Chain A
Amino acid sequence: MDLLTNLAHGFAVVFQPINLMWSLVGVTLGTLIGVLPGIGPALTIALLLPVTTKMDPAAAFIIFGGVYYGAMYGGSTTAILINTPGESGSLVTAIDGNKMARKGRAPAALATAAIGSFVAGCIGTLLLAAFAPTMVEWAVKISPADYFALAILAFVSVACLLGRSVLAGLLSLLMGVAIALVGIDGQSGQARYAFGEPSLMNGIGVVVVIVALFAVAEALSLAADPKARSEEITPLKGRVLMTREDLRRSWKPWLRGAAIGFPFGALPAGGAEIPTFLSYSLERKLSDHPEEFGEGAIEGVAGPEAANNAAVAGVMAPLLALGLPTSATAAILLAAFQQYGLQPGPTLFSGSSTLVWSLIASLLLGNLMLLLLNLPMAGLWARLLYIPRPFLYAGILVFATLGVYGASRSLNDVIFMLIVGLMGFAMRRLDFPIAPMVVGLVLGPMAEQHFRRAMQISQDDWTVFFTSTPAGPLLALAAVLAIAPPLIRRWRRKSAQTAPA
Chain B
Amino acid sequence: MSNFRSLRSAVAAAALGLALATGAAPAFAAEDLTITVPANPGGGWDQTGRAMAEVLQGEKLARSVEVDNVAGAGGTIGLAQFASRPGEPDALLVMGLVMTGAILTNNSPVTLESTTPLARLTSEYEGLVVPADSPLKTVGELVEKLKADPASVSWGGGSAGGTDHILAGLVMKAVGADTSKLNYVAHSGGGEALASILGGHVTVGVSGVGEFVEQAKTGKLRFLAVSSDARIDGVEAPTLAESGVDVVLGNWRGVVGAPDIDDEERAALLVTLDAMAATEAWKKILSARGWTDAYLSGDAFAEFLKEDDARVVQTLKDIGLVE
Contacts and interface: CB of A to CB of B under 8 A. Distances in A.
A and B are interacting partners: yes
Contact of B106 (A140, A143, A201, A340): A201
A186 B73 contact: no
A453 B76 CA distance: 26
Interface string A123-143: 000000000000000011111
Contact of A346 (B71, B77, B101, B199): B199
A345 interface: yes
A140 B193 CA distance: 11
A142 B199 contact: yes
A343 interface: yes
A198 B183 contact: no
A185 B194 CA distance: 20
Nearest to B104: A189
Interface in B50-81: 71-74, 76-77, 80
A477 interface: no
Interface residues of A, number: 37
A456 B154 contact: yes
Contacts of A341: 40, 42-43, 189
Contacts of B303: none
B161 A459 contact: no
Contacts of A340: 42
A390 B22 CA distance: 66
A342 B191 contact: yes
Contacts of B321: 188-189
B267 interface: no
Contact of B72 (A185, A186, A202, A449): A202
Contact of B77 (A185, A199, A459): A199
Interface in B167-205: 183-192, 194-196, 198-199, 201-202
Contacts of A342: 191
B71 A202 contact: yes
Interface string A319-333: 000010000000000
A107 to B, nearest CB: 48
A343 B201 contact: no
A459 B186 CA distance: 15
B42 A457 contact: no
Contact of A457 (B107, B160, B185, B194): B185
Nearest to B183: A456
A53 interface: yes
Nearest to A352: B191
B151 interface: yes
Contact of B151 (A184, A338, A345, A459): A459
Contact of A189 (B80, B161, B183, B191): B161
Nearest to A460: B151
Nearest to B74: A184
A329 B136 CA distance: 42
A186 B74 CA distance: 11
B73 A347 contact: no
A191 B80 CA distance: 16
Given A140-B198, A144-B201, A343 B192 contact: yes
A143 B201 CA distance: 6
B159 interface: yes
A347 B194 contact: yes
Contacts of B161: 189
Given A186-B159, A343-B192, A201 B72 contact: yes
A187 interface: yes
Nearest to B73: A201
A185 B74 CA distance: 12
Contacts of B190: 343
Contacts of B199: 140-143, 346
A351 interface: yes
Interface residues of B, number: 42
Contacts of A348: 191
B43 to A, nearest CB: 7
B138 interface: no
A190 interface: yes
A185 B106 CA distance: 11
B252 to A, nearest CB: 20
Nearest to A409: B70
A347 B195 contact: yes
A202 B105 contact: no
B76 A198 contact: yes
A346 B195 contact: yes
B152 interface: yes
A457 B72 contact: no
B79 to A, nearest CB: 10
Nearest to A449: B188
Contacts of B195: 139-140, 343, 345-347
Contacts of A238: none
Interface string A169-213: 000000000000000111111110000101101100000000000
Nearest to B149: A459
Q: Which of B43, B73, B199 has the most CB of A within 10 A?
A: B73
Contacts of B214: 351
Nearest to A351: B191
Contacts of A190: 105
Interface in A405-460: 449, 453, 456-457, 459
Given A186-B186, A457-B202, A198 B192 contact: no
B201 A184 contact: no
Contacts of B152: 459
A186 B192 CA distance: 12
A202 B77 contact: yes
Nearest to A139: B195
Contacts of A142: 199
B306 to A, nearest CB: 23
A347 B188 contact: no
Interface in B199-220: 199, 201-202, 214
Given A144-B201, A188-B160, 20 more contacts: A143-B201, A144-B196, A184-B105, A185-B160, A186-B160, A186-B187, A187-B185, A188-B321, A198-B73, A199-B72, A202-B77, A323-B192, A338-B189, A341-B42, A346-B195, A449-B188, A456-B154, A456-B185, A457-B154, A457-B185
28 contacts: A53-B41, A139-B195, A142-B199, A143-B199, A143-B201, A144-B196, A184-B105, A187-B186, A189-B160, A189-B161, A196-B107, A198-B76, A198-B106, A199-B72, A199-B77, A201-B73, A201-B76, A340-B42, A341-B40, A341-B189, A342-B191, A343-B188, A343-B192, A345-B191, A346-B199, A348-B191, A351-B191, A459-B183
6 tightest CB-CB pairs across the interface, nearest first?
Answer: A343-B191, A189-B160, A341-B42, A202-B72, A201-B73, A140-B199
Interface of B: 40-43, 71-74, 76-77, 80, 101-102, 105-108, 151-152, 154, 159-161, 183-192, 194-196, 198-199, 201-202, 214, 321
